[in-house]
Amino acid sequence: MQDGKTAARGAARAGSGAGASRSEKLLFLTDEQLRQSAELLFFAYRDFTSDPDEILAARGLGRAHHRALHFIRRRPGITVAGLLEILRVTKQSLNRVLRQLVDEGLVESTEGLQDRRQRNLRLSPAGEALERALSEPQRARLRRAYALAGPEAVAGFRQVLEQMLDGAGRDGVLSMVGSDADERS
Amino acid sequence: MQDGKTAARGAARAGSGAGASRSEKLLFLTDEQLRQSAELLFFAYRDFTSDPDEILAARGLGRAHHRALHFIRRRPGITVAGLLEILRVTKQSLNRVLRQLVDEGLVESTEGLQDRRQRNLRLSPAGEALERALSEPQRARLRRAYALAGPEAVAGFRQVLEQMLDGAGRDGVLSMVGSDADERS
DNA sequence: TGTAATCCGTCAACAAGGCTGACATAAATC
DNA sequence: GATTTATGTCAGCCTTGTTGACGGATTACA
């Protein structure tokens, strides 16, 4: 697979023993090769997240707002606590963002039905429109990359990403990512 | 974990064993499915970058320092301008980080040989040690994910990431990350 | 040779978006 | 009735990004 300066540099063997249980083909990955993967991930994610920035800036919002809009759209009716758990930020930090979104009429916050202490969050039509505009360049980027790389590559891409998740939250993430239940938009 | 809900999702629509080129196999991806990919990428990257944080915090440093250490290690002798281009931040922002690293003896800044206006940056032994400690949990995460997902998945992972890069900087990035995991075009 | 451009460093001010701590209120629970 | 829970909010701090301005050293050029 790889050689050249890379292989010359890390004559050190890959530390991943584990035997060839999963596949007959072994992966010999030097630390340097793993660093290259980390770097690739860094650049890809940087480019990916850079897409919506101009739109956000034009409205005086930031990435934190985009994240909130994204997850509220994906889980309409989510509570503040639920959003806190997903985003892993403090309630003070989230509240600052949420307040702006509500004030600008992008997010609707309604009293919980069973528990009136809670707030159920959902996007207003304007919020939906903005979220769509923000995420469209990202979807276009993924669509294009997927088309160029092909179905097997896409399957591998998703498999590796899933395995990279923290074990603790993996089930939660995968159930969310994998739930076709929210196709009802 | 390799399949189940994920495979059912449509990433794996690659049934044909014939010689059909990968671009001929169609990908039917709804916007909702693309959003799921974006979400998965978000969670994976979040977990990935969370690894070194405790070590950094213990030394009073942040992620910006880790990024600088990483790229200086990968390109020893890089100039300030080169690092600026990679990180895409302002020189004032980078300088603040770089100054700390030099002050703490983690980075060595020497006068350029051909052009004495430039500074050539490299890690000191202490800087190498810190960078290694910071990146080790990330490499371990990748090693494990790669081993579990298998070689084909790894190849697909890298292919998709490469296709996600901005066209403008793709060549530069790929030459830096030593791309030979696949042959695009 | 003199002038302009370049590379780097720095000061100042500011903003986004994290954080902790403290406190308040309404509603649910025990 | 007392306590816990869900949420909101004030105040202040930190990191890391931004603009704008300026200066010194060095190189490139007319």
Return all residues near B134 (Cβ < 8 A) that are at least 6 apart. Answer: B52, B55, B56, B66, B69, B70
Please give the structure tokens belonging to residue A149.
């790389």
- CA–CA gap between residue B37 and residue B58 (Å, rounded): 34
Task: Check whether residue A64 has its CB closer than 7 Å to nucleic acid strand C.
Answer: yes
Question: Is residue B76 within 8 Å of B70, Cβ to Cβ?
Answer: no
B177 lies in a domain?
no
- CA–CA gap between residue A64 and residue A94 (Å, rounded): 8
Phi and psi at B71, nearest 5°, equal -75, -30
The residues pairing with A120 across neighbouring beta strands, listed in sequence order, are A79, A110
Cβ of B6 and A162 within 8 Å?
A: yes
Q: How many CB atoms lie within 10 A of CB A5?
A: 10
Q: How far is the CA of A65 from the C1' of D13 (A)?
A: 22
- Write the CA distances from B113 to A21, B71, B85, integer angstroms: 52, 20, 21
For strand C, which nucleotides have at least one atom less than 7 Å from a protein CB? 6-13, 16-22, 26-29
A15 lies in a domain?
no
A14 lies in a domain?
no
- Write the CA distances from B180 to A5, A40, A50, A137, integer angstroms: 12, 12, 26, 28
pLDDT in tens, B53-73: 989 999 999 999 999 999 999
Please give the structure tokens belonging to residue B134.
């910071």
Please give the structure tokens belonging to residue B75.
């390109």
Phi and psi at B179, nearest 5°, equal -70, 115
pLDDT at residue B156, as a whole number: 97
- Nearest residue to B78 via CA among B64, B98, B58: B98
Q: How far is the CA of A94 from the C1' of C24 (A)?
A: 19
Domain that holds residue B129: 31-162
pLDDT in tens, A45-58: 999 999 999 899 99
- CA–CA gap between residue B42 and residue B30 (Å, rounded): 19
Chain A residue closest to B6 (CA)?
A178
Give the count of domains, chain A.
1
Chain A residues within 8 A of B40 when measuring between CB atoms: 158, 161-162, 173, 177
pLDDT in tens, B101-155: 999 999 999 999 999 999 999 999 999 999 999 999 999 999 999 999 999 999 9
Which segments of chain A have a pLDDT < 50? 1-24, 179-185
Determine the distance in angstroms separating the CA of B65 from the nearest CA of chain A, rounded to an integer.
15
Question: Is residue A73 within 8 Å of A123, Cβ to Cβ?
Answer: yes
B21 lies in a domain?
no
Question: Is residue B180 within 8 Å of A2, Cβ to Cβ?
Answer: yes
Task: Check whether residue B44 has its CB closer than 7 Å to nucleic acid strand C.
Answer: no
pLDDT at residue B16, as a whole number: 39
Considering only CB atoms, A27 lies closest to which of B36, B146, B156, namely: B146
A46 lies in a domain?
yes
Return all residues near A148 (Cβ < 8 A) that are at least 6 apart. Answer: B23, B163, B184
Determine the distance in angstroms separating the CA of B107 from the nearest CA of chain A, rounded to an integer.
19
The residues pairing with A79 across neighbouring beta strands, listed in sequence order, are A120
Please give the structure tokens belonging to residue A30.
């030097």
B65 lies in a domain?
yes
Q: Is A111 helix (H, G, I), strand (E, B) or coil?
A: strand
Considering only CB atoms, B5 lies closest to which of A45, A178, A183, namely: A178
Q: What is the DSSP letter of B8?
A: I
- CA–CA gap between residue A141 and residue B34 (Å, rounded): 10
B:77-96 Cβ neighbours of strand C under 7 Å: 79-81, 84, 91-92, 95
- CA–CA gap between residue A32 and residue B74 (Å, rounded): 9
A78 lies in a domain?
yes
Task: Indicate if the alpha-carbon torsion angle A98, A101, A105, A107 is positive or negative.
Answer: negative
pLDDT in tens, B12-33: 333 334 445 544 456 788 999 9
pLDDT at residue A1, as a whole number: 30
Q: What is the CATH number of the domain that holds B59?
A: 1.10.10.10
- CA–CA gap between residue B157 and residue B177 (Å, rounded): 14
Please give the structure tokens belonging to residue A97.
């963002």
Pairs of CB atoms within 8 A across A/B: 245
Q: How far is the CA of B102 from the C1' of C10 (A)?
A: 15
Chain B residue closest to A168 (CA)?
B47
3-class SS string, A2-51: CCCHHHHHCCCCCCCCCCCCCCCCCCCCCHHHHHHHHHHHHHHHHHHHHC
A164 lies in a domain?
yes
- CA–CA gap between residue B74 and residue A133 (Å, rounded): 37
pLDDT at residue A170, as a whole number: 81
